[in-house]
Structure 1
């Protein structure tokens, strides 16, 4: 910043603000850092900040006070969700002045070792992905270490820890209803990893929609998967090659498995959606890259990751300011993305 003669002006400091407001520099710092002060003092300091156009030096403040260090675990390095998750977490961390300490679960023989490593690293809070988000052992370890935890994308949030999630049951029910509306009755379902609570809720949503429509679910129409592309290939072979008469639609618990089912269908010369409708869940990048593009349930992973960072940051700071931090469960809206991979039931069957 320069004055009218082009000379560089000295930056406004916290001491300048303190003199203008008639308070101590410590009071100014408390206001800037969001620590509790009386309303009268806060108003005086905020007025002085506006008058002097004071901009806090975030880097210097972090160096003096130490920024929050948030541990972020990720389970599957090949997951289509990972890029969006990290993007959302890093962006919000930058806005909040938080440092992210990222640790891959796959680098450890036991997933709990990844949790213990971040505890030993001295993180201030931790985001747990599936299936660790549902692990009572992980949550108890962090509770004992006095490290706040946030369960990310769980379908079974706990009362003592914050969570960010969507309604997996309703998302799966909405997708199944979509297929039923198109005339499909013989609908197959590919399960997700049974260790993940969202996988269980998605199957429940599928079964509920079928029951409400008066449609029985054959045992051989529900096949195992673990959210990986490879498991989707196995499921596709079971449903489209080994099972005799094929279903008219396949609903997979995530997009990676749905894409694998589509690969098996294309290899058999089936036309999607003319001969077979395929639907997924999550709306990861593969859903738009696939041809035809995949009908799926949109889960806003980047937004959810940012919300997880913000929620955990607020929880930690509330505790440090002397208040009682509030556990928050944020249920983020999902959206049905109808694309070209689903269509009416084949005319020969309708």
Structure 2
């Protein structure tokens, strides 16, 4: 490292009284070098550490010394964020993560909405023409072959987020959707549920299939009811959740629990249950997936799988920054495939199934009791 770069990273005390990297490090309880790694996207840093640094930056309203960055050769990185009609709650969390990490990493963020369908490739090409260093794709575009082909043909690094089966040509940040759905289904079975409905996500998204596979694996392993009528197609939207829940709750033998592939469809299921006069969770357990803000704004609050949406967005920025900086330095820059942890979060929407006493059979004259 050159002397100029060392001086830039050191970032001496700002005599104007503005907070410095040393102040951020002190508040976060880490070293100044760790803060530097977080802000420059170099080296793997634990998610908990990145969060501490981000919180310290926000608390101090810290702005990196631009002169120091220029001396260190930290040219801004231009990143495009292309999205297409995800859940509003999901998009909100994703943007929080993107904006937080972009500020830390000297990233200029270009946000554009892409209408799904025939215009995907054209809008992607238009975004690339802005001279981007990289692109981040959330669901459902993370599974769009047209978008991925356009990006790879242009030679632009990309990171897909929350993709069930990431393309090897691009970087990826995801959770294990199969394992998360498997664990939630096992949890419901452990409560005593045997007849568990499942609302599948959008059929064009690979995460939907992985979650369905996890549900089915747990059902088969524990010998629960595997009737096909218990699996209903959804689209990851609230409206589709209403339709799916109505189908499941109109079955002659309705399920005692419904596991929806995202929180929007789970919230819709709770609404249908209430309309039908069913108590949640007394008459029906309902669980979701994602742990967006919606999970705690309805009643009862949802038991759900916590997918670290904001954290995944931050990690996507970090991964892309590492790759772009390596490419600028002429170093190997293969796409990173990163798997983050998920968590089952219990709240008020799940319970053991209500046990009804068996009907009493009439006693005939010739019947003897076991005790007698």
The answer (yes or no) to whether the contact 1:85–1:301 under 8 Å persists in 2 is yes
Q: Residue 30 of structure 2 aligns with which residue?
A: none
| Secondary structure class of the residue paired with 1:215 | coil
Q: Residue 252 of structure 2 aligns with which residue?
A: 244
User: For residues 96 and 294 of structure 1, what CA distance do their matches in structure 2 show?
Assistant: 35
Q: Residue 219 of structure 2 aligns with which residue?
A: 210
* TM-score in terms of structure 1 length: 0.82
| Secondary structure class of the residue paired with 1:81 | helix
Matched, 1:279 2:287: yes
User: CA offsets per residue over residues 106-143 of structure 1, 9 Å max, x none?
Assistant: 38862223312211222110011223212333222212
The answer (yes or no) to whether the contact 2:11–2:68 under 8 Å persists in 1 is no
| Secondary structure class of the residue paired with 2:88 | coil
Match of 1:163 among 165, 172, 175: 172
Cα distance change on mapping 1:52 and 1:190 into 2, 3 Å: closer
User: CA offsets per residue over residues 72-94 of structure 1, 9 Å max, x none?
Assistant: 01222543111110011011000
Q: Residue 33 of structure 2 aligns with which residue?
A: none
| Secondary structure class of the residue paired with 2:80 | strand
Q: Which runs of 5+ in 1 are unaligned?
A: 1-22, 32-44
User: For residues 70 and 118 of structure 2, what CA distance do their matches in structure 1 show?
Assistant: 35
Q: Residue 228 of structure 2 aligns with which residue?
A: 219
Matched, 1:315 2:314: no
Cα distance change on mapping 1:107 and 1:179 into 2, 3 Å: closer
The answer (yes or no) to whether the contact 2:152–2:169 under 8 Å persists in 1 is no
| Secondary structure class of the residue paired with 2:291 | coil
User: For residues 287 and 51 of structure 1, what CA distance do their matches in structure 2 show?
Assistant: 42
Match of 1:263 among 256, 271, 279: 271
Matched, 1:173 2:182: yes
Cα distance change on mapping 1:184 and 1:317 into 2, 3 Å: same
Q: Residue 114 of structure 1 aligns with which residue?
A: 123
User: For residues 206 and 121 of structure 1, what CA distance do their matches in structure 2 show?
Assistant: 43
The answer (yes or no) to whether the contact 1:62–1:97 under 8 Å persists in 2 is no
User: For residues 51 and 124 of structure 1, what CA distance do their matches in structure 2 show?
Assistant: 26
User: For residues 137 and 61 of structure 1, what CA distance do their matches in structure 2 show?
Assistant: 37
Q: Shift of the alpha carbon at 1:59?
A: 6.8
* TM-score in terms of structure 2 length: 0.77
User: CA offsets per residue over residues 7-61 of structure 1, 9 Å max, x none?
Assistant: xxxxxxxxxxxxxxxx9xxx555x3xxxxxxxxxxxxx45x97596588732785
Q: Shift of the alpha carbon at 1:160?
A: 2.7
The answer (yes or no) to whether the contact 1:58–1:97 under 8 Å persists in 2 is no
Q: Residue 331 of structure 1 aligns with which residue?
A: 339
Question: 52-61 or 101-110: which moved more?
Answer: 52-61
Cα distance change on mapping 1:108 and 1:65 into 2, 3 Å: farther
User: For residues 162 and 107 of structure 1, what CA distance do their matches in structure 2 show?
Assistant: 22
| Secondary structure class of the residue paired with 1:103 | strand
Q: Residue 154 of structure 2 aligns with which residue?
A: 145
Cα distance change on mapping 1:222 and 1:51 into 2, 3 Å: closer
Superposition RMSD on alpha carbons, in Å? 2.5
- Kindly tell me the number of residue pairs found equivalent between the two proteins: 309
The answer (yes or no) to whether the contact 1:77–1:104 under 8 Å persists in 2 is no
